[in-house]
Structure 1
Amino acid sequence: MKRVLAAVLALAVVAGGTLTGCGEKEKTGKKDEKMSAAFICANLGDKSFNDIAWEGFKKAETELGMDIKVVEYGAEKSKMEPALVDVAEKYDIVAFEGGEFTEILEKHYEEFPDTKFVGFDIDPTYQVKMPNYFAINYMQNQGDYLAGALAAKMSQTGVIGFVGGAEVVVINDFLLGYVEGAQHADANVKVATAYIGDFVNSPKAKELTQVQMTQGADVLHQVAGAAGLGLFEACAEKTGIWAIGVDADQREYFAESNQKVADVILTSMLKRNDIAIFNILKETAVGKAQYGTLKRWGVKEGVTVIVKNDFYRQNVPQETQAYIDELEGQIAAGEITMDTAYGMQQEQFISIRESVKP
């Protein structure tokens, strides 16, 4: 029965006709000598989380000789399950983001015992029971602790901003780190917070950013995927404003296409999907990856850190740079800890968020 369901779901992918692939071969994966890996995501081109993850796959193609493919299911969540089943039939390793895919995998993993699955941004309390599943939790609250501390140090008004995509636990985890890092730098700091409601509505992100500017925010951080461009545009239209990006070095992404936007992005809080993905693909290829487990990676592993490029070094005072470096070392050593939204009661989270409201 499970095989019949898998076949039906795979046919649904073909019938839908909207999933796109890069580097697809006529028959890729299990029958080839080279190991193969597929990445399932909503879309590439976000200049953020998905794009940086795909860089890890491309590195595996170049350095490990893997066959790789990306499957983009778009905005229709109904395509997530057939996409997973389809690529699991053809590829040795299948990677994806989030708990929704994990729930789908729980229904199908036994159908594909020879396929390895990698999930990232997984709830740290998740108990892995699937022997062919490697779960990764990024401690983004650690990296955003550094971003918040930097924002508070760079602010001239004592008010900083945070624009998130959806009000979900992973975004709130960013926010908690951001708030607590800012308070470490300035006990009296205020943090304006807003949520777009999705990760694609750039005009709304711009509008919310402009509202926060009227509240005095002069350093603003976006954690909103592709929608974050709206925050950058708003910051670029006003003097004396800094922006902080997310997931990838977003200044680098815009340096050639939109210099005005690039020049307001002081730094970005990285979630080094590229490093994490490449490492797990490499370890899988040599048989060293510990499937059936969940790993938590953060500042210590160099996965959730802020960008310290030439632009950062030119625009952040040396004293502040030294302060951020010290904080980073303390977090890596376990000397500084911070709250996490995972497992936190909503009432407690709201209380923390409201306590720093301008």
Structure 2
Amino acid sequence: MARLFVAVAALALLATACGETSSDAAKDDGDGGKGNSSSGEYDAKGIGLAYDIGGQGDQSFNDAAFTGYERARKDFKIGGVDMEPGDGESSADKTQRIEQLARQGYNPVIGVGFIYAPAIQEVAKKYPKTTFGIVDDNTVKAENVADLVFHEEQGSYLAGVAAAKATKVKHVGFIGGVDIPIIHKFEAGFVQGVKSVDPKIKIEKRYLTEKPEEGGFASPDKGQDAASGQLEAGADVLYHAAGLSGQGVIQEAGSQKVWAIGVDSDQYEQKALAKYKKYILGSALKDVGGAVYDLTKSVVDGKPMTGTQRYDLKSGRVGFSDSNPAYKDMKDVVAAVEQAKKDIISGKVEVKTRP
């Protein structure tokens, strides 16, 4: 199976009015920060990337985007800047961040997360020659916007199958960061996957917050508390879709020596989670980095992607990681996940998007 790797880089930070900006770490090409493709046709400053709540270092969603950002800069020899969200920021702050990137000459400009939809909808009209991308939203419709969306329910189905086969007590748990439609997709796929193995398995469910600004994606302590509660209730495998908060879920599961299942990035490979990696059964993968890379390549090549770009299990852009040697040794779990993957790709199984 495909494995996602997160590059770890030490980046200097500059404070800005709407968050923090990583300094341009690309090799100086002598043109004031602009990077050129090998064809010489690309003359923008590079990639402009705006992170979702939790920012870089979440070991999950944002870090997945960062891998694509880093790889594209290296492969195409272009510049770039990535910007962090501020604490408790407003919609106006997000719009300011996206507009700042476009005004400064970055192309493409990518918002990581549905929270950027209103900002990109507004700013894209002002900069028609700039290509914008938004991850996890397909509501922004414009000739210069690419909506980068995933069938995350399919990867979550595989996580559910793995959890159902791995549990020793027929009791598992799901922890979502925020009670919103996109996280409902993770829950729906996970529950369906569990039930496909054994309808009698009990499933704990918990959302950390009702709104993103309440910290559901950015509070490891909330994730740890939720995990503690589900483990006390009797679950022995926990799957999270909670961004940075998921670190707390994995930490608690690891401390209690039970299985955790990560999300978006291959969390077994994350250095920040190394202490608990032996208890990370696998991760439901979502190749956000690949989507960022694809969009950047299209702009560099002079053929910008626009419209809805949908990634699924068949394309290899969602899946389930097999990095943990302990997982590979669980032959019945591996076989069940592989069969589920085949059934989804063939159309035999249609995964629900709502609980």
Structure 2 partner of 1:180: 192
Q: Partners in 2 of 1:67 and 1:15 — Cα distance?
A: 19
Structure 1 partner of 2:310: 296
Structure 1 partner of 2:320: 306
Q: Partners in 1 of 2:33 and 2:234 — Cα distance?
A: 54
Kept after mapping to 2: 8 A contact 1:28/1:91: no
1:323 aligns with 2:341: no
- Which structure 2 residues correspond to residues 113-262 of structure 1 after superposition, within 5 A? 113-123=128-138, 126=139, 128-197=140-209, 198-239=216-257, 241-254=258-271, 259-262=274-277
Q: Partners in 1 of 2:184 and 2:326 — Cα distance?
A: 26
Whichever of the two has the greater Rg, that structure is: 1
Amino acid at match of 2:295: I
Q: Partners in 1 of 2:45 and 2:96 — Cα distance?
A: 22
Between the aligned residues of both structures, percent identity stands at 26
How much has 1:34 moved relative to structure 2? 5.8
Could you give the per-residue CA deviations for residues 253-282 of structure 1, whole angstroms, max 9, x where no partner exists? Answer: 03xx55431111010111111112112211
How much has 1:30 moved relative to structure 2? 9.3
Could you give the per-residue CA deviations for residues 236-261 of structure 1, whole angstroms, max 9, x where no partner exists? Answer: 2223x10001111111103xx55431
Provide runs of 4+ in structure 1 moved above 6 Å.
Answer: none
Kept after mapping to 2: 8 A contact 1:22/1:71: no
Structure 2 partner of 1:273: 288
Kept after mapping to 2: 8 A contact 1:161/1:220: yes
Structure 1 partner of 2:124: 109
Paired residue total: 322
Backbone CA RMSD of aligned residues: 2.3
Could you give the per-residue CA deviations for residues 139-185 of structure 1, whole angstroms, max 9, x where no partner exists? Answer: 11010000001100111111100111111111111000000010011
How much has 1:21 moved relative to structure 2? 2.5
Could you give the per-residue CA deviations for residues 34-78 of structure 1, whole angstroms, max 9, x where no partner exists? Answer: 661110014211111111111101111111112111011222332
Kept after mapping to 1: 8 A contact 2:154/2:189: yes
- Which structure 2 residues correspond to residues 21-170 of structure 1 after superposition, within 5 A? 21-23=22-24, 27-29=32-34, 33=43, 36-42=46-52, 43-78=55-90, 79-89=93-103, 90-123=105-138, 126=139, 128-170=140-182
SS in 1 for 2:178: coil
Deviates more, 1:261-270 or 1:90-99: 90-99
- The 1:325–1:35 alpha-carbon spacing in structure 2 relative to 1, beyond 3 Å, is farther
Structure with the bigger percentage of helix: 1
- The 1:334–1:17 alpha-carbon spacing in structure 2 relative to 1, beyond 3 Å, is closer
Amino acid at match of 1:242: W
Kept after mapping to 2: 8 A contact 1:269/1:307: yes
How much has 1:334 moved relative to structure 2? 2.1
TM-score (norm: length of structure 1): 0.84
- The 1:258–1:322 alpha-carbon spacing in structure 2 relative to 1, beyond 3 Å, is closer
How much has 1:287 moved relative to structure 2? 3.1
SS in 2 for 1:77: coil
Q: Partners in 1 of 2:335 and 2:352 — Cα distance?
A: 24
Q: Partners in 1 of 2:70 and 2:343 — Cα distance?
A: 33
- The 1:324–1:17 alpha-carbon spacing in structure 2 relative to 1, beyond 3 Å, is closer
Could you give the per-residue CA deviations for residues 282-313 of structure 1, whole angstroms, max 9, x where no partner exists? Answer: 1222234431x112211111111110125254
Amino acid at match of 2:255: E
How much has 1:223 moved relative to structure 2? 1.1
Gaps of 5+ in 2: 1-13, 37-41, 210-215
SS in 2 for 1:246: strand
Gaps of 5+ in 1: 1-12, 342-348, 350-358
Amino acid at match of 2:70: K
Q: Partners in 2 of 1:201 and 1:33 — Cα distance?
A: 39
Q: Partners in 2 of 1:190 and 1:17 — Cα distance?
A: 44
TM-score (norm: length of structure 2): 0.84
SS in 2 for 1:260: helix
Q: Partners in 1 of 2:178 and 2:172 — Cα distance?
A: 19
